[in-house]
Amino acid sequence: MGQKGEPGAPGSGMSRGIIFGDPSMTAPPSGFNRAGSSGMNRPSSGGPHHSTESGPTKIVPGAVTFQNTEAMTRMSSVSPVGTIAYIIDEEALLVRVNNGWQYIALGGLLPITTQPPPTTTPHSVKPPFEASNLINTKPIPVEGPSLRMAALNEPCTGDMTGVRGADYSCYRESRRAGLRGTFRAFLSSRVQNLDSIVRFSDRELPVVNIKGEVLFNSWKDMFNGDGGFFSQQARIYSFSGKNILTDFAWPQKIVWHGSHLLGERAMDTYCDAWHSASTDKVGLASSLLKNKLLDQERYSCNNRFAVLCIEATSQYSRRRRRRNADEDKELSEGEYQVQLEELISDKGRK
């Protein structure tokens, strides 16, 4: 028996995560042949690369990182089933399944107790020229007048006792959340187009979430025919403060609206004016995973989807109307005082 050779390098014990698109994963390692090829020994049956009766084991990337769900959706067609994806913006973990991506529930947080080493860059070395160094991808809270959008705290079927019932739910939950303002359901009705919910004078204002982050540059931009495409990631929060795109209370990231692209009510596809939860009735809704708010998808009315609420009048308009009302009140009191003085003067002359 010959002399025993040097031991090989220890393995990591688990597959390492990689960034999606690493060319090292597009082909087997150099020198590796499949079972049955000449020039190499076949791998043992217990190794990581082996053939079974149904075919060779398929190797997929261990972990893929994306900045947001939009970037992940664009790469879905080339992401094999079983790929693990981590969304940086949401700090969420998903797995590629046959019909799309499935969120993975994460456990408790294990905080980092040690200080990370300083990452100072020598003055002589300039950072690489990247778009991420120039663009801030995190939404910035808007200042000035705006229209707030929020979701009801629970998903609903198509039976909401009509738009009036949905409007009341928006009013009640906004008040419980301490939000002043008139919130109405983002739904079309028999007598109301979707684009007419907001006052005409406020339709140039930006639409923001309850944290003040911009969702749309203006209310009217939502109805320009592109399906209500979000300018950034759809960060919509419920009145209870949950992100409906990541929270498990909304397993289907879909919102009811019952409207055509330009905001006209869809008479035949809005769950019998939001009075029906029947499987025979259909309503128009939109998947937030497509980064659109007015996508034209038909669903049976028994589904439980998110219902959004929009602030129908901006705070600036409310303050202006209140100030005008106060001025009218002062004017009325002044006119009353003049009339009273004239009445006293007439009595004195008599």
Are the CB atoms for 301 and 276 separated by under 8 Å?
yes
pLDDT value of residue 233? 77
Please say if the pLDDT value at position 29 is more than 50.
no
pLDDT value of residue 128? 40
pLDDT value of residue 342? 52
- Cα-Cα-Cα-Cα torsion 185, 187, 188, 193, nearest 10 degrees, comes to 70
Confidence class of residue 148 from pLDDT cuts 50, 70 and 90? very high
| Least confident interval from 155-159, 253-257, 285-289, 326-330 | 326-330
pLDDT digits (tens, 9 = 90+) for 42-56: 444 444 444 445 555
Residue, of 218 and 74, whose pLDDT is higher: 218
Tokens of 314: 């901006």
Please say if the pLDDT value at position 23 is more than 90.
no
pLDDT digits (tens, 9 = 90+) for 243-288: 999 999 999 999 999 999 999 999 889 999 999 999 999 999 999 9
Decide if domain 17-22+57-106 falls under CATH 3.40.1620.70.
Answer: yes
CA distances for 329 relative to 319, 321, 325, angstroms? 15, 12, 6
**What does DSSP say about strands 214-216 and 207-208: parallel, antiparallel, or unpaired?**
antiparallel
Q: What is the mean pLDDT of the chain?
A: 75
pLDDT value of residue 244? 95
pLDDT value of residue 305? 97
Distance CA 271, CA 101 (A): 28
> Which residue in this structure is represented by tokens 């979000």?
230
The conformational region for residue 228 under phi > 0 = left, psi -120 to 50 = alpha, else beta, is left
Q: Rounded to two decimals, what is the model's pTM?
A: 0.55
pLDDT value of residue 183? 95
What is the DSSP secondary structure assignment for residue 244, as one 8-state letter?
Answer: T
Please say if the pLDDT value at position 21 is more than 70.
no
pLDDT digits (tens, 9 = 90+) for 87-141: 988 888 889 899 898 888 887 777 776 655 555 444 444 444 333 333 334 555 5
Please say if the pLDDT value at position 7 is more than 90.
no
Give 145's contacts (C-beta < 8 A, 6+ positions apart).
202, 205, 314, 315, 316, 317
pLDDT value of residue 215? 93
E strand segments, 21-174: 51-52, 55-56, 64-66, 84-87, 92-97, 100-104, 147-151
| Least confident interval from 125-139, 157-171, 201-215, 306-320 | 125-139
Tokens of 142: 């808007």
Are the CB atoms for 211 and 236 separated by under 8 Å?
no
Residue, of 48 and 227, whose pLDDT is higher: 227
Q: Each residue of 155-191: b (16+ CB within 10 Å) or e?
A: bbbbbbebbeebbebbbebbeeeeeeeebbbbbbbee
Dihedrals φ, ψ of 169, to 5°?
Answer: -65, -40
Angle at alpha carbon of residue 21, lines to 66 and 57, rounded to 5°: 110
Confidence class of residue 341 from pLDDT cuts 50, 70 and 90? low
- Cα-Cα-Cα-Cα torsion 140, 143, 149, 153, nearest 10 degrees, comes to 70
Element housing 322 (H / E): helix 315-349
Domain range 147-311, CATH architecture: Roll (3.10)
128-155 mean pLDDT: 65
Domain layout of the chain by residue ranges: 17-22+57-106, 147-311
Highest mean pLDDT among 139-148, 158-167, 224-233, 318-327: 158-167
Please say if the pLDDT value at position 291 is more than 80.
yes
